[in-house]
Structure 1
Amino acid sequence: METGQLSKSLGDVARAARERLGLTQAQVARQLGIAPNVYGRIERGHMMPAVPTLRRLALVLGLSADVLLALGRADVAPSLEAPPPEDNLSPELRQTVRMLRGWSPARVKWLNRILRAIENAPEDE
């Protein structure tokens, strides 16, 4: 998603969440610690908030930052402990990952050694 589309999407979600809570732009802006006109620019998609402001916005609106950023389950892992999502991988890489899941740790270790050797090998010209 391009920056302009992301700003517009974030603004639309923020507006819908604010209205669902029955808050005014001024009330949300006050809770965020920003000027009401700045918050209005965010809602209209004319400005992308800084990360600390985005975090506060998620807290004030009671939304996950994933919702504000239009990220789905297929886009991101739900936690650091969870495996990374595979939907972003090419079909060949997904197939390789599925195959490796059935391998013993010893076989994976050998493959890892081979891949490191390939990675460090000089490129063919």
Structure 2
Amino acid sequence: MAHDLGQLVYDRRTALGLSQAELAERCGMKQPQISRIEGGGTMPTIPLLRRLARALDADLTIELTPHHAAA
């Protein structure tokens, strides 16, 4: 899950033409933190995900999907 999230952050950041340092500044973070997130090395908290979403001009959606019972 951390790797998938990191890829989403990377894809959105590069689509906006932002460097890691620019994104970090928008979020009030340091560039190495962005690097760790994008590399899948850390799983951000929900408040940090909200800040990232705002900085990336994106919506944050969290969803719980029930497992389907075996028939």
**What TM-score, normalized to structure 1?**
0.49
Deviations 1:22-55 (A, max 9, x none): 0000000111111100110000000111221110
Matched, 1:7 2:2: yes
Show structure 2 runs of 5+ residues with no match. Answer: none
Q: Percent identity?
A: 33
Give unpaired runs (5+ residues) of structure 1.
Answer: 1-5, 76-87, 92-125
Q: Post-superposition shift, 1:89?
A: 6.4
1:89-100 matched pairs, under 5 angstroms: none
| Count of matched residue pairs | 69
Instruction: Write out the 4+ residue segments of structure 1 that deviate beyond 4 Å after TM superposition.
Output: none
Q: State the match for 1:27 in structure 2.
A: 22
Instruction: Kindly provide the CA deviation profile for residues 91-117 of structure 1, in whole angstroms up to 9, marking residues without a partner as x.
Output: 6xxxxxxxxxxxxxxxxxxxxxxxxxx
Pick 1 or 2: higher relative contact order, CA cutoff 8 A, min separation 6.
Answer: 2
Higher share of residues assigned helix: 1
